[in-house]
Amino acid sequence: MERIIMDWQRIRSDFPILDQQVNGHPLVYLDSAASSQKPRAVIDSLVRFYERDNANVHRALHELSNRATDAFESVRGKVARFIGAASEDEIIFTRGTTEGINLVANSWACANLKPGDVILTSSMEHHSGLVPWQLAAQRTGATLRHIPVLDDGTLDMDAFEKLLTPEVRLLSIVHISNSLGTINPVREMVARAKKTGAVTLVDAAQSTGHVPLNIADIGCDFLVFSGHKICAPTGIGVLYGRYSLLESMPPWHGGGEMILQVRLEASTYKPPPARFEAGTPDIAGVIGLGAAIDYLQAVGLENIEKHGLELASRALTRLDEIPGIRILGPKSGPRGSLVAFHAEWAHPHDLVEFANSHGIAMRGGHHCTQPLMKRFQVPGTTRASFYLYNTPEEIDRLAEVLAAARKFFA
């Protein structure tokens, strides 16, 4: 078989923003877990849309509206194929992961849960995988349970087995932790939860666009992700929902486009996905999402996954050489494309500022996972996160700057 050697420098040059100096140094962008950069192809797709095709969708019969509607709706099928959904009608456009989880919490959970029911999630969830369930529990009287995290940053699977009683109606679990890099065994967990009749949701904010994803393989009922983390614009995201479930769910937002008929007193609603997309959607965002998926698929998800793991492994090795750095999450084996650590000689905010003065963009703080920071007894961590445009040389530069930071702070 022909071996394809990826030219990651060439891929990097597809991202215009990376070609700049920050504080007198070449920019090293290591904050993709928060938000990714955009390739020229995505930026161009937005300009093209606004210059040639812009109009509202689904509403008019004029040429521009038809073009905008066709372009918008074609992305639904593209997303379905990208994540292995059975039908494009299972793809709902949202503002992002947060809105997707809130949609399920407000629609499915509020319509189905009652006192005595249990929502099972974990202690490593992003706040957007915790707070919507707290709100739903408060409204329905359901109880929350959390799978604990072991010292090595993996989930306590023995505890999971014990917590997964027949009262569990929903399992909501993060695929790749944004704070640890842990890859959770979502396929096995979903299969286990299905046996007890629970509905399952996977937060794929950090795995979509980083590893090949397949709904049919994972077997979950709901899956959510954000466009801005996979090279698409901000403001657009996806909720995948199994059609039979979506069909049974009441609308969450009311407004234009989600209705069949409106009377002054009451209305009837369209079937999914329209039922869950009230008002004018983020049309340009959807066009950009389509361009981002094309771009990622041209590079290849297997290639991106391999590159991400190589960068993370190199970072683990290089950071381990620096005294006083404690890495959180798995130290070996498969992991997400990020490394989070606590340096005993500097507060994460000071460290991030020091790195910034050397042109390196990282994130410091609790990363929207306060319970996890408490679990590991750290005020916060510094996180370096990688994507397809990062290079091994940038990891070496990170290690060099961190070594200098140690001298500076110590």
d(C-alpha 339, C-alpha 329), whole Å: 8
What are the Cα distances from residue 359, in Å, to 27, 34, 38, 367? 5, 17, 19, 21
Task: Respond yes or no: is residue 368 known to be catalytic.
Answer: yes
- Residue 97 or residue 381: which is nearer to ligand PMP going by CB? 97
Q: Does 128 bind ligand PMP (CB under 6 A)?
A: yes
Q: Does 205 bind ligand PMP (CB under 6 A)?
A: yes
**Residues 101 and 129: beta-carbon distance below 8 Å:** yes
Please, which of residues 330-389 interact with ligand PMP by CB under 6 A? 368
- Residue 90 or residue 203: which is nearer to ligand PMP going by CB? 203
In the structure encoding, which two tokens stand for residue 99, read together? Answer: 């809105």
Taking CB under 6 A as the criterion, the residue among 178, 182, 184, 200 binding ligand PMP is: 178
If you compute the radius of gyration of the chain from its CA atoms, what whole number of angstroms results? Answer: 22
Q: Does 119 bind ligand PMP (CB under 6 A)?
A: no
- Least gap, CB of 285 to ligand PMP (angstroms): 12
- Residue 202 or residue 311: which is nearer to ligand PMP going by CB? 202
Please, which of residues 71-90 interact with ligand PMP by CB under 6 A? none
- Least gap, CB of 23 to ligand PMP (angstroms): 25
Q: Does 98 bind ligand PMP (CB under 6 A)?
A: yes
- Least gap, CB of 393 to ligand PMP (angstroms): 26
Interface stretch with ligand PMP, choices 68-76, 124-132, 295-303, 315-323 (CB under 6 A): 124-132
d(C-alpha 317, C-alpha 174), whole Å: 26
The total number of residues written for the chain in this structure:
410
Taking CB under 6 A as the criterion, the residue among 119, 174, 232, 292 binding ligand PMP is: 174
Q: Does 288 bind ligand PMP (CB under 6 A)?
A: no
Taking CB under 6 A as the criterion, the residue among 39, 96, 233, 308 binding ligand PMP is: 96
- Least gap, CB of 315 to ligand PMP (angstroms): 18
- Residue 273 or residue 336: which is nearer to ligand PMP going by CB? 336
Interface stretch with ligand PMP, choices 15-23, 96-104, 162-170, 381-389 (CB under 6 A): 96-104
- Residue 69 or residue 98: which is nearer to ligand PMP going by CB? 98
- Residue 368 or residue 403: which is nearer to ligand PMP going by CB? 368
- Least gap, CB of 218 to ligand PMP (angstroms): 15
- What x/- string results for residues 211 through 230 when contact with ligand PMP is judged by CB under 6 A? ---------------x----
Interface stretch with ligand PMP, choices 82-90, 123-131, 273-281, 375-383 (CB under 6 A): 123-131
Of 29, 38, 124, residue with least CA distance to 386 = 29
List residues near ligand PMP by CB under 6 A.
96-98, 126, 128-129, 174, 178, 203, 205-206, 226, 368
Catalytic residues: 368
